[in-house]
Structures are given as structure tokens and as C-alpha cells.
Structure 1
Amino acid sequence: MGKSESYLIEFISSGKALKVTAVDPESGTEASIVGDPKMSRDALSKLAVQKLLYVMNKAQNDQDDDRPGILV
């Protein structure tokens, strides 16, 4: 799962909040944040992409962990 240089970004306004979704076009993985619509779209996009990268890295690490048993 490589890191793409471009992501799809969607903005949805809902009352006093703005939902921002970032999607990796290669894997279809997506992550969303809810932010203040007064913030710049660039700043909100960067936050959504950071969360997307976190989600993708976590998924990759979970796949790499093939140890049997339950983590406590």
C-alpha cells in the first residue's frame, strides 16, 4: 500500500460544522474529520489527509502482525 501524492477531498456542510473526507484513489480507503467551517479548506484538507495516512498505516501494521493470540 503506497502513499499516493494526490487524494480525493470532499466537503459537506452540515449546520455549524464541515465534514471533510479524504479518499486514497488507489486503495479506496477513506477517512473523515469534522471541522469548523471558518477554518481554511486547505488546513481542513491537510488534517483529513493526515488522518487518512494514519488509517492506512494502521491497517498495514495490523496486516503485518500475524502473531497468534489476543493482545491485552
Structure 2
Amino acid sequence: MDDVSRPASPVLAEDALLGLLLPFWQLIIGAFVLFAVVVSIGRLARRGPSRMSTALLVTAAAIAGFAVVGVLLQG
């Protein structure tokens, strides 16, 4: 009998392992981001209300800008 070339079947064990690890890495990255945000908010709060209001205005402008870009790129 001739050797019939079969299509390579995907290795499901590797996909399952990666699927289990992916949420774990997202959790680790999210924890580092949350830590950085908390530390930066603490530093801003110690600098006083004028710096805090400026930071809030810049953040609000950035959020509005991202929303506008998202709406423009959708259509």
C-alpha cells in the first residue's frame, strides 16, 4: 500500500494548555496596570488639587479623543 499523505492534524493539547494560560497572563498584566494606576493616582493626589484637576481634564480629553477616533474608524 502506498503512503497516503494525510493532512497534519493540529495538536489539541498545546492549544488547550495555551487556552488555560492565556487568562492567567492577562490577569498578571492587569494587576501590574492596576498597580501603576493606583501609584500614579497617589502621586497626583499628593501634589495638590490644581494638578489633579489638570490631570482629570487631560484624561477626559484623551477619552473623548479615543471615542471620536473609534466612531470615525467604524464607518
- The TM-score by the shorter chain falls in which range? 0.3 to 0.5
Q: Which has the higher contact order (CA 8 A, sep 6+)?
A: 1
Q: Report which of the two structures shows the higher radius of gyration computed on alpha carbons.
A: 2
